[in-house]
Amino acid sequence: MNSKNKSASGKYGNLQTLLQGAGLRPTKQRLALAGLLFDGCDKHVTAEQVHASLTRMKAKVSLATVYNSLNHFRGAGLLRQVVVDGGQAFFDTNIGSHHHVFDEDTGLLTDIPAASIRVSHLPKLPQGKKLARVDIVLRVQSNA
């Protein structure tokens, strides 16, 4: 049943579980969004990109809802936000420990495993502060 949704059967159930497990009501819009994002491949998306994709695949979700949902997903720990330059924010479906390569020519963002970079000699932090995260961005550009 429910043959119109491409992420039917198992997939659908998993997404529903995923959202519920995160304390989010599995609405049509969120399921569509989750179906797009959590397909097993790591992704870096912007709100506009996701909105465009949803629109292209005939899932009517307003841009505001895309923003709200992405933020909810982030709050629930399903996504991570990455900022590489002013402009737009990226949402990263890879929530494990890792870093990024930002291509300044194309604006594309790529993951690199945390293990690829070894950081040593972290400085001591101010009193009463703890390290929340280490963000490393390798900025690359064409060497033409």
Residues that bind a copy of itself (CB under 8 A): 83-86, 89, 101, 103-104, 112, 115-123, 125-126, 128-144
What, of DNA, a copy of itself, none, does residue 78 touch, CB below 5 to 8 Å by kind?
Answer: none
**22 closest CA partner among 35, 10, 8, 34:** 34
φ, ψ of residue 18 to 5 degrees: the values are -55, -50
Binding status of residue 17 toward DNA by CB under 7 A: no
* Residue type for position 71: N
Q: Tell which one of 15, 18, 37, 61 touches DNA (CB under 7 A).
A: 61
Number of CB atoms found within 10 A of residue 103's CB: 15
Q: Which is nearer to a copy of itself, 3 or 143 (CB)?
A: 143
The H-or-E segment that residue 35 falls in is helix 28-37
Q: Which does 141 bind (CB under 5 to 8 A by kind): a copy of itself, DNA, none?
A: a copy of itself
| Interface residues toward DNA, by CB under 7 A | 20, 24-30, 46-48, 60-65, 67-69, 71-72, 86-89
